[in-house]
Structure 1
């Protein structure tokens, strides 16, 4: 009798564990997760979605990333800061090649082209999207200053030493001296930083922003982009209905690098972003 009860209880426990396991999300690992792991020892960096594409012949989605890694701060004079010839030595720029991403990841970031989609500041991760550079470099006197247009509006201008940021964040067609309006930065800093993604008061930042004119995606016909956006939304929904998710979907809150390292080692790759 005792043996029967033992096997009965054992069966119940196994069923409970199986049900619990089936409810756990099945993570689709992305190249962004790999970046977090690769630069786990770096305390300050930004990841920008530099480009995106879809290959119809293989039915695969792709991303390119630009990673800005902050190194030790140099001691520069005012003349050195205003120097437009020498490039900065305290920010390392890494441009990745094309990385395959899952439909879930592509769908999550389809409106974020040219934006910072991941940042790490003082060891804390922020997975919310924001206009490129606005969370780390704009408003930081180490890199530039607020200036005033002739019409009285205030904007951010990078020092000459960091003028390449103007091209990276705003696009070369805007020219040196162009910058984010102070009102936008104030809105982001007060209401969105470390809380939720920011696209501007009129949703002007992101994929449709003027700085993205030289990307592969921006050069695609609108019919192609509309078709891909519709297709990827359906594919992502299908995967989610089967229990798949991404680390961004699962948690948008900032984490310390050590906590993320432990959780990412347990996530499933799902065949993407290896």
Structure 2
């Protein structure tokens, strides 16, 4: 996501598309990804999707059904025994491990920062059943807030450019506001000086 301009803003989205195609005659899929060009969108559309940076916005099943659930990329394939299985780490936590030939799915979906634990996956399914966006539970893993989406801890690490641009815009707005306050105070002081001078001159 990107905003341009100060007074008259333009809003842009850029989408990553991941396509799964059947491998030979099997039901397994081979995934490819593509990042498109920046596309100008309306302010309303920009605001509607503002919270979902880095998340799935829409997906299509093998039957062609389109779903608009919002969740971290790749979660829809976790738990599918065609692509991997559940393992247990040294602390007794159950996590998802892709089979060797599908290990690249972590890169395609941007899941290389951490494994998907069964607690993640269970929560994801609960949220989808309720028709709610799933942002991940950062507090479960020792961090505050959500993990994914625009306010997510993981997103801030994997998409630093967005937050750098936002910080620059915020700094510019703060500077503009500060200058306006200073100008108003200066004009007010000058008005007071003129008023006192006028009063003295009239005596």
Same-fold call, TM > 0.5? Answer: yes
Q: Number of aligned residue pairs: give it.
A: 161
Q: Secondary structure at the match of 2:22?
A: coil
Match of 1:128 among 69, 86, 93: 69
Structure-2 residue corresponding to 1:55: 4
Q: Any idea what the Cα deviations from partners look like across 1:215-261, whole Å, max 9, x if unmatched?
A: 33133253636999xxxxxxxxxxxxxxxxxxxxxxxxxxxxxxxxx
RMSD: 2.9
Structure-2 residue corresponding to 1:204: 147
The answer to whether the 8 Å contact 1:188/1:198 transfers is yes
Match of 1:184 among 102, 109, 120: 120
Distance 1:99 1:119 in 2: 19
Distance 1:212 1:164 in 2: 22
TM-score (structure 2 length as normaliser): 0.66
Distance 1:146 1:179 in 2: 11
1:93 and 1:171, CA in 2 relative to 1: closer, same or farther beyond 3 A? same
1:142 aligns with 2:94: no
- Work out which structure has the larger RCO, using CA pairs closer than 8 Å and 6 or more positions apart in sequence: 1
Q: Secondary structure at the match of 2:80?
A: coil
1:140 and 1:148, CA in 2 relative to 1: closer, same or farther beyond 3 A? same
Q: Secondary structure at the match of 2:164?
A: coil
Which 5+ residue runs of structure 1 have no aligned equivalent? 1-51, 77-87, 229-274
Question: Rg: which structure is higher?
Answer: 2
Which 5+ residue runs of structure 2 have no aligned equivalent? 138-144, 174-203
The answer to whether the 8 Å contact 1:139/1:156 transfers is yes
More helix by share: 2
1:224 and 1:161, CA in 2 relative to 1: closer, same or farther beyond 3 A? farther
Distance 2:153 2:56 in 1: 13
1:159 aligns with 2:99: yes
Distance 1:106 1:139 in 2: 32
1:227 and 1:210, CA in 2 relative to 1: closer, same or farther beyond 3 A? farther
1:134 and 1:171, CA in 2 relative to 1: closer, same or farther beyond 3 A? closer
